Structure 1
């Protein structure tokens, strides 16, 4: 990863919540629990486009992508299918949303939520 390009990216590129989340993990910036609501995974192709831009511009390796779930464990399902997401994105297959949506329940469980019904989740009590 090119750290100088990472600094340039955060200040000059289109940044969304999910790509900023990746950036923080890659730059070893650990959020405190108060701000965890300001971090997330991509939910659609538009979100993913900013994440893809970060990885490409900053020259992030596949090994470096593994740092993200260490900071944000709920990213694990996304990183596991990263190559499929990239392929779907660059071929314009229209499958990015489908791939992300297929991982939604797993992501929510890792975030500490319990599914009550379709589209309805509640935070598990600690």
Structure 2
């Protein structure tokens, strides 16, 4: 019995057993938005996004990551942001949004669409690295 106990203890202490027992790594969920802007609305769209980023800042959240098209496919702007608002920031975000006077609900829908010719939303895991994502693969 002592040999069996010693073998079990050795097996559980091995790096392979530790990796197997460890919970799989969670990657943050991000929202990737790709916009093609209505003609003549590029500056107005960016001013609107800057206002929403200012609301985020007031609530203690980071601004969206903005990418501006320079060559290639027919999109104008790409925004990347966390897919979810942290629970401890929701009340602050709601208060900052209300204070800002920015539209919400259906009014937000109609306002932002004045600037957009086309857009897509994609939920993704990341940011991460290839090595970290591969390390999360089931053994």
TM-score normalised according to structure 2 size: 0.24
More strand by share: 2
More helix by share: 1
State the structure with more CA Rg: 2
Q: Higher RCO, 1 or 2 (CA under 8 Å, sep at least 6)?
A: 2
